[in-house]
Chains A and B, each alone.
Chain A
Amino acid sequence: MFPEYDVIVVGAGHAGCEAAHAAASMGSTVLLVTMNMHTIAQMSCNPAMGGVAKGQIVREIDALGGMSGIISDKTMLQFRMLNRSKGPAMWSPRCQSDRNQFATEWRYTLEQNKNIDFWQEMVTGLIIENDQVKGVTTPLGLKIKSKSVVLTNGTFLNGIIHIGEKNFGGGRVGERASSGITEQLVQIGFEAGRMKTGTPPRVDERSIDFSKMEEQLGDENPEKFSYTDTPHLTKQRSCWISYTNTAVHDELRKGFDKSPMFNGRIQGLGPRYCPSVEDKINRFADKDSHQIFLEPEGWNTVEMYVNGFSTSLPEDIQYNALRKIPGFENVKMFRPGYAIEYDYFPPTQLNLNLETKLVSGLFFAGQINGTTGYEEAASQGLMAGINAHNKVNNKEEFILKRNEAYIGVLIDDLINKGTEEPYRMFTSRAEFRTLLRQDNADIRLTPKSHKIGLASYSRLERVNTKIQNSLNIYNELENLKLEPEEINAKLDENLSSKIKQNITAFQLLKRPELTLNILRSFSPKVQDLLKNYDQESILQTEIQVKYERYIEKELVLAEKMTKLEDLKINPDYDYSSLNSLSIEARLKLAKIKPQTLGQASRISGVNPSDISVLMVHLGR
Chain B
Amino acid sequence: MPEQQECICALATAPGIGAIAIIRVSGKNAIGITNEFFVGKDLNKVASHTVHFGIFRGADKDIDEVLLSVFKAPHSFTKEDSVEISCHGSSFIIQAIMQTLVKNGCRMAQPGEFTQRAFLNGRFDLVQAEAVADLIHADSEVAHRTAFNQLRGGFSDLLAQLREELIHFASLVELELDFGEEDVEFADRDDLRQLIFKIQQQIEQLLNSFESGNAMKEGIPVAIIGQPNVGKSTLLNALFKEEKAIVTDVAGTTRDTIEDTLVLGGYKFRFIDTAGIRETTDKVEKIGIEKSKNALNKAEIVLCLYDEGIEKVFLQNEFAEELSKRKVFWIKNKVDLQEPAEATTDLRISAKNGTGIKELEKQLEKAASEKITGSTILTNLRHFELLSKTNDALNEVLNGLDTGITGDFLAQDIRLSLFHLGELTGTISTDDLLKNIFGKFCIGK
Contacts and interface: CB of A to CB of B under 8 A. Distances in A.
**Real binding pair:** yes
A464 B441 CA distance: 44
B79 to A, nearest CB: 14
B287 interface: no
A116 B406 CA distance: 46
Interface stretch (A162-170, A179-187, A267-275): A267-275
A615 B406 contact: no
B177 A554 contact: no
A273 B438 CA distance: 7
Contact of A284 (B140, B404, B442): B442
Contact of A290 (B125, B403, B442): B442
Interface residues of A, number: 52
A308 interface: yes
A52 B345 CA distance: 74
Interface stretch (A83-91, A117-125, A150-158): A83-91
A52 B124 contact: no
A231 interface: no
Contacts of B409: 87, 434, 547, 550
Contact of A616 (B129, B407, B438, B442): B129
A83 B141 contact: no
Interface in B400-445: 403-409, 411-412, 415, 430-431, 433-434, 438, 442-445
A428 B137 contact: no
B133 A290 contact: no
B412 A428 contact: no
Interface stretch (A11-19, A139-147, A324-332, A605-613): A605-613
A191 interface: no
B2 to A, nearest CB: 9
Interface string A258-284: 000000000000011111000010011
A428 B125 contact: no
Contact of A431 (B5, B115, B182, B415): B415
B412 A434 contact: yes
A591 interface: no
A512 B133 contact: no
Contact of B124 (A428, A434, A619): A619
B130 A272 contact: no
A433 B444 contact: no
A619 B179 contact: no
B120 interface: yes
Interface string B380-412: 000000000000000000000001111111011
B61 to A, nearest CB: 34
A517 interface: no
Given A434-B408, A563-B120, A613 B444 contact: no
A428 B140 contact: no
A418 to B, nearest CB: 12
Interface in A361-394: none
B105 interface: no
Contact of B141 (A426, A547, A550, A609): A609
Contacts of B132: 616
B130 A87 contact: no
B122 interface: yes
A539 interface: no
B140 to A, nearest CB: 4
B407 A272 contact: no
A274 B177 contact: no
Interface in B219-246: none
A408 interface: no
A52 B181 contact: yes
Interface string A313-328: 0000000000000000
A547 B179 CA distance: 23
Nearest to A310: B445
A613 B405 contact: no
Nearest to A609: B140
A613 B116 CA distance: 9
A293 interface: yes
B367 to A, nearest CB: 34
A428 B177 contact: yes
Contact of B125 (A271, A554, A619): A619
B357 interface: no
Contact of A428 (B5, B126, B133, B178): B178
A498 to B, nearest CB: 19
B123 to A, nearest CB: 11
A280 B408 contact: no
A280 B444 CA distance: 9
B430 to A, nearest CB: 5
Interface in B179-232: 179-183
A83 B444 contact: no
A326 to B, nearest CB: 15
B120 A567 contact: yes
A485 to B, nearest CB: 28
A38 interface: no
B330 interface: no
Contact of B137 (A275, A553, A580): A580
Given A273-B444, A275-B444, A616-B133, A86 B438 contact: no
B287 to A, nearest CB: 55
Contact of A51 (B125, B181, B403, B404): B181
Contacts of A53: 178
Interface in A57-97: 82-83, 85-87, 89-90
A280 to B, nearest CB: 5
Given A52-B178, A428-B174, A609-B141, A307 B415 contact: no
A617 B129 contact: yes
B256 to A, nearest CB: 52
B113 to A, nearest CB: 9
Interface string B85-116: 00000000000000000000000000110011
Given A87-B406, A89-B408, A291 B182 contact: yes
B144 interface: yes
Nearest to B175: A428
> Which of A284, A290, A580 has the largest number of chain B CB atoms within 10 A?
A580
B119 interface: yes
B5 A563 contact: yes
A235 interface: no
A620 B124 CA distance: 10
B370 interface: no
B178 A427 contact: yes
B136 interface: yes
A603 to B, nearest CB: 12
Nearest to A91: B408
A283 B137 CA distance: 44
Contacts of B141: 609
A272 B430 contact: no
A335 interface: no
A451 interface: no
A87 B137 contact: no
Given A612-B140, A617-B133, A433 B408 contact: yes
A330 B141 CA distance: 67
Interface in A550-573: 550, 553-554, 563, 567
Given A429-B434, A567-B120, A612-B116, 13 more contacts: A86-B407, A87-B407, A310-B445, A431-B415, A433-B408, A550-B409, A609-B136, A612-B140, A613-B136, A616-B115, A616-B136, A617-B126, A620-B122
13 contacts: A52-B181, A53-B178, A83-B181, A86-B406, A274-B445, A275-B442, A290-B183, A427-B178, A428-B411, A428-B434, A616-B116, A616-B129, A617-B130
Interface of B: 5, 111-112, 115-116, 119-120, 122, 124-126, 129-130, 132-134, 136-137, 140-141, 144, 174, 177-183, 403-409, 411-412, 415, 430-431, 433-434, 438, 442-445
Closest CB pairs A-B (n = 8)? A619-B126, A291-B183, A609-B140, A284-B442, A272-B438, A86-B406, A87-B408, A274-B444
